Structure 1
Amino acid sequence: MGNLCETKETTQITSVQMLSKQQEETNGCNSEKNQNSYKMLESVQKKLSIDDFLMLNQIGKGAFGKVFKVKKKDNDKIYALKAMNKKQIFDNNLEQNAIIEKEVLNNSKHPFIVNLKYSFQSQTKLYFVLEYIDGGEFYQILQRTQGFPEPVVQFVAAEVILALEYLNMKLNIIYRDLKPENLLLTKSGHVKLTDFGLATKKKDKNQKSYTLVGTTEYLAPEILRKEGHSFEVDLWTLGILIYEMITGKTPFAHPERNQMKIQYLILKNNPTYPPTMSKDAKDLINSLLQTNPQLRIGANGYDTIKNHSFFSKINWQDLYELKVKSPLKTFAEDNSNRLQNLKPMSTQLIDTPSNNPLPQIIGISFSGNDIEKAGSVKNY
């Protein structure tokens, strides 16, 4: 499923690298000095390059690049390396989104969100080196099963909810790309959200984002109508995901994947529910798939979702602390074994000098959790 990305935000996204106005006044800094501090910081850091990593296998592919299983040559540790085409990022005006993705991955300390280890760039590519999640893609399991029993859905959805709550309410980030393809599983079967390339900062209460961005089947009505949107779009996609996990398909699917007809079905918003779906599941999905974003369950806080009867058997604290055994553990272990046996890559990625080098994106380079301190905004 491809992603849509129409234009840059109508209201310019403020780089998460910039200090707030209050911080600037307190510290006597301005944005120009802040940018210079990043340039100085990046110049003194050890310059990582693709040559520092041994490519083992290709394990994924996205809209702007590929994901590889790699080994870092100096410590023999295994990571996932996401290589992105800078030209595509610039062509789609996603430079700020790349910075936001890096900051989310770097700053997040959450059990259900992938963590960043390193990031760097060349003349033509951006590289994010992430923790390696060895249980595979949730999407592949869902494709094979064509739907899960509701207790499994409750478990997966609950872990996703904790991750979304953290993003929306703690980091003030709108994810905008929740779908099975962006859920990874650890070997023990727990969820990890990945791919924040379409994420944006949540604006002030009366400000909204206007970019047409996301995957068609998951787009909220306010995005399609270009009315402006905020974090409530993540509540809508949560409803789509829960429906898909139960039935094996999205509620507004079209057999030929006709984009216009899918959009029409979303705006019509009249999903059908199989008779086998429980009353609690149907009520929760209906409450999330409200056309008016302010009427969606969770719009006034995630506790209303967590207290819904669909999750009556979920112990949220135990879940957060990874004390609940995953019903997907066997699937994830099988996936992990399959990934171990992938055919090794016959060639390595090589950065060759470009005749048309693209500008460096300030604030991308990151050489470890203890390095990038100066000027970085840690409390979104």
Structure 2
Amino acid sequence: MAGLEELRRKLQPLFDADIGPSPGMSMDPCESYMVSSEGAVNLLSKSSGVYNFSEHGLEKQTNGIIHDIDRSEQAYRCSSNEMHVFGAIGCGSSSIVYKAIHITIHRILALKRINVFEKEKRQQLLNEIRTLCEAPYFQGLVEFQGAFYTPDSGNISIALEYVDGGSFADVLRLRKSIPEPVLSHMVHNLLISLGYLHGERHLVHRDIKPANLLINLRGETKISDFGISAALDNSVSMCETFVGTVTYMSPERIQNESYSFAADIWSFGVTVFECATGKFPYSATEGAVNLMLQILYDPSPSPPRDKFSPEFCSFIDACLHKDPNTRPRADELLAHPFIRKYEKETVDLGAYVRSVFNPVSKLKDMADVSFW
């Protein structure tokens, strides 16, 4: 417990949720963050309290009380001086992701860096933190390892598990398409994760696409990138904001109508269609406006009946109903004939992933990092 008390001392709260900011603090005009002269930052979340970040790690404060977010003492001792950062492994609209090694525990991690001074990125950071660390760990989501603030750069780094295979987009670049039996098992696992997000966490992901679905060399699938996810407080709550990747966006979202979990099902259906056929189902070469018009007014895409099983075609058709009220829920899709068709077939997802991504090259990359 002494180590935990030392960590708490280093992470003295900069803001008291009951009495307000401490002396010497500067408040952002939008009242979403504050910075201290000691090189630490508070992110203020109306729904979740106050997040205290420093070079030493992260703690959360609610009603004046500091709470460890993690379920163990160790995970949040994730400080900047314990990280050795290597090259970038990806980037998105709000962040750059680097490969790093956590020196004290000799574990390879993915560090997602987000600039705290940009309001939109702060909100995405809060979304990511809330989704990944404020609930019991779920295997189908990328695992949260901690976070820390670097004053010199103004960046908050989120430490995530390093998924050593790659994304579904990487698989498509190397293999063009994924065979039905393999895809069925992948889809089964992803539907469990999506059902957890929708049913247990009441979250709409809002950016389901091949680049945000990951798989490791053991064949375990993971949903990642929760920066624009949105919480629905109850079954009748609806989202109304226009965010996400337009190419995978549902018709109701494009029309700026209220939407709910069914919007993720549409995006998932487009993603699975692309994984099976190797082609995005719409012509996206003539600009975003033309693409949106296709999604709204063209018939929903359907796989070629002569190349794919009736069960697969039925699965895609169910996901891509224009009317969101007729799309099945994630848990209902688990009982779809496309899933049942292959569930008794032995499919080694780990072996498939290792056949796509050169395991020797992957192991060499990890050995090079570990050697340091």
Could you tell me the TM-score, scaled by structure 1's length? 0.72
2:290 is matched with 261
How far is the alpha carbon of 1:229 from its aligned partner? 1.1
CA distance in 1 between partners of 2:213 and 2:258 (Å): 26
Is the 1:113–1:193 contact (alpha carbons within 8 Å) kept by the matching residues of 2? yes
For structure 1, the 5+ residue unaligned runs are 1-12, 20-32, 346-380
Paired residue type of 1:331: S
Could you tell me which of 96, 113, 126 is aligned with 2:141? 113
Picking from 325, 331, 339, the partner of 1:294 is 325
Structure of higher RCO (CA pairs closer than 8 Å, 6+ residues apart): 1
Partner of residue 316 from structure 2, selected from 285, 299, 313: 285
1:1-380 equivalent positions in 2, closer than 5 A: 15-18=46-49, 34-38=62-66, 49-88=79-118, 90=119, 92=120, 94-106=121-133, 107-123=135-151, 124-254=154-284, 256=285, 258-270=287-299, 271-274=301-304, 275-298=306-329, 302-315=330-343, 325-326=348-349, 328-331=352-355, 334=358, 337-338=361-362, 340-341=364-365
Is the 1:16–1:99 contact (alpha carbons within 8 Å) kept by the matching residues of 2?
no
In the TM superposition, what is the alpha-carbon distance from 1:262 to its structure 2 partner? 0.8
Q: Which runs of 5+ in 2 are unaligned?
A: 1-43, 51-60
Offset, 1:96? 3.9
Change (3 A) 1:104 1:86: same
In the TM superposition, residue 284 of structure 1 has moved relative to its aligned partner by 1.3
Distance change >3 Å, CA 55–CA 135, structure 1 → 2: same
CA contact (8 A) 1:176 1:198 kept: yes
Please report how far the alpha carbon of residue 189 of structure 1 lies from its aligned counterpart in structure 2 after TM superposition: 2.1
Number of paired residues?
A: 307
Q: Distance in 2 between matches of 1:80 and 1:40?
A: 22
Is contact 1:177–1:214 with CA below 8 Å preserved after alignment? yes
Cα distance between partner residues in 2 of 1:259 and 1:126:
32
Q: Give the aligned partner of residue 375 of structure 1.
A: none
SS, match of residue 59 in structure 1: strand
Instruction: Provide the rounded CA distance (Å) in 2 between the counterparts of 1:335 and 1:233.
Output: 36
* Alpha-carbon spacing, 1:191–1:336, altered in 2? closer, same or farther (3 Å): farther
Amino acid at match of 1:102: I
Whether the 8 Å CA contact 2:214–2:221 is kept in 1: the answer is yes
**Which AA in structure 1 matches 2:355?**
F
Q: Deviations over 1:121-162 (max 9, x none)?
A: 234212111112111222111122221221122112111111
- RMSD between superposed Cα atoms in Å: 3.2
Q: Kindly provide the CA deviation profile for residues 329-372 of structure 1, in whole angstroms up to 9, marking residues without a partner as x.
A: 32365257247439989xxxxxxxxxxxxxxxxxxxxxxxxxxx
- For the 8 Å contact 2:140–2:193, the answer to whether it is kept is yes
- Whether the aligned pair in 1 keeps the contact of 2:208 and 2:268 (CA below 8 Å) is yes
Contact residue 189 and residue 332 of structure 1 kept, 8 A? no
Alignment CA distance shift 1:279-1:86 (3 Å): same
Q: State the alpha-carbon separation in 2 of the partners of residues 112 and 198 from structure 1.
A: 18
Hey, what's the Cα distance between the residues in 2 that align with 1:296 and 1:126?
A: 38
Amino acid at match of 1:282: C
TM-score, scaled to structure 2: 0.73
Identity among equivalent pairs (%)? 25
| Cα distance change on mapping 1:75 and 1:14 into 2, 3 Å | closer
Structure 2 contact 302–316 (Cα < 8 Å) conserved: no
What amino acid is the match of 1:337?
A: S
Q: CA deviation at 1:303?
A: 3.8
Cα 1:47/1:189, change in 2 over 3 Å: closer
CA contact under 8 A between 1:182 and 1:193: conserved in structure 2?
A: yes
Higher strand share: 2
Distance 1:40 1:60, change over 3 A: closer
